[in-house]
Structure 1
Amino acid sequence: MNISAELSFYPFTDDFKPPVRDVIKHLEQQPGVDVRPNRISTQVFGSFDDVTAAIDATMRWSFERYDSCVFVTKIMNGDRSPKD
């Protein structure tokens, strides 16, 4: 089963851009997912197992790296990725 996820990351720091970029890079390194960042959030597409594993690994990594941060995630069934 394929799913589509939208992930927003909010680090509690004045200089928020570097942590956001780091989280996107980490997410892009996860296997089996199509990652599409935009100005508001990052969209992740792939199989249920790959997407949830990628989000889990990225959240764990960021919680260990940054003192305080919040993730907001929306997940829906089906591949809703834009077709290039």
Structure 2
Amino acid sequence: MKLSVEISKYPLHQDYIPFIKDFIDRLNAHEGLKVITNTMSTQIFGDYDLVMAVLSREMKRSYEQFGKAVFVCKFLHGDLSPADA
């Protein structure tokens, strides 16, 4: 089963950009995922089990490394990635 996720990370830290960039870089390092980032959010597309496992692992790592953050997510059934991405 395929899954599409839109996620935004809001670190509760004054110097937030490195925290967001690190999270996005880690998502991009996982094979089997299609990751598209824009100025408002990051979209992740792939197999349901892989997407959920990666998000669980990387969100936990973010909390452990950087402390408090807010994650806002939307989950949609299927692969809704743009055809040209």
TM-score category, normalised to shorter length: over 0.9
**What TM-score do the two structures reach when normalised by structure 1?**
0.94
Match of 1:7 in 2: 7
Q: 1:28 deviation in Å? A: 1.0
Match of 2:24 in 1: 24
CA RMSD across the alignment:
0.8
- In structure 1, list runs of 5 or more residues that go unmatched: none
Q: 1:30 deviation in Å? A: 2.1
AA at the equivalent of 2:45: F
Aligned length: 84
**What TM-score do the two structures reach when normalised by structure 2?**
0.93
- Which runs of structure 2 are paired with 1:1-84 in the superposition (5 Å)? 1-84=1-84
Question: Aligned partners of 2:54 and 2:32: how far apart in 1?
Answer: 9
Question: Aligned partners of 1:15 and 1:73: how far apart in 2?
Answer: 22
AA at the equivalent of 2:31: P
Over the matched positions of the two proteins, sequence identity in percent amounts to 40
- In structure 2, list runs of 5 or more residues that go unmatched: none
